[in-house]
């Protein structure tokens, strides 16, 4: 192997895989069980916006939810 092959960064995760992992991490925090509903839903919103931005190349993170 060449030295460059050893230090090649891993390819980025597909958007759906990254979203599922983020949802699992959020679920394990159990924020809704600790009366932290707003933080839980903010996390859900961020995960969804990140997924939309990556999947369809839409600037979803810059859009408001109003």
* Domain segments of the chain as ranges: 11-62
Whether the predicted model's global pTM rises above the 0.85 cut: no
pLDDT, residue 10, reads 84
Q: Which pLDDT score, from 0 to 100, does residue 66 have?
A: 59
Of 60, 40, 42, 41, which Cα lies nearest the Cα of 50? 60
pLDDT digits (tens, 9 = 90+) for 21-58: 999 999 999 998 999 999 999 999 999 999 999 999 88
Give, in order, the Cα–Cα distances in Å from 26 to each of 2, 44, 45, 66: 39, 8, 11, 23
pLDDT level of residue 59 (50, 70, 90 thresholds): confident
Closest CA to 41 of 61, 26, 60, 24: 26
The answer to whether the CB of 47 falls within 8 A of the CB of 19 is yes
């Amino acid at each position: 192997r060449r030295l460059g092959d050893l230090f090649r960064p891993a390819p980025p995760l597909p958007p759906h895989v990254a979203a599922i992992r983020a949802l699992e991490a959020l679920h394990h925090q159990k924020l809704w069980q600790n009366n932290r509903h707003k933080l839980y839903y903010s996390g859900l919103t961020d995960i969804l916006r990140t997924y939309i931005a990556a999947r369809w190349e839409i600037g979803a993170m810059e859009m408001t939810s109003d």
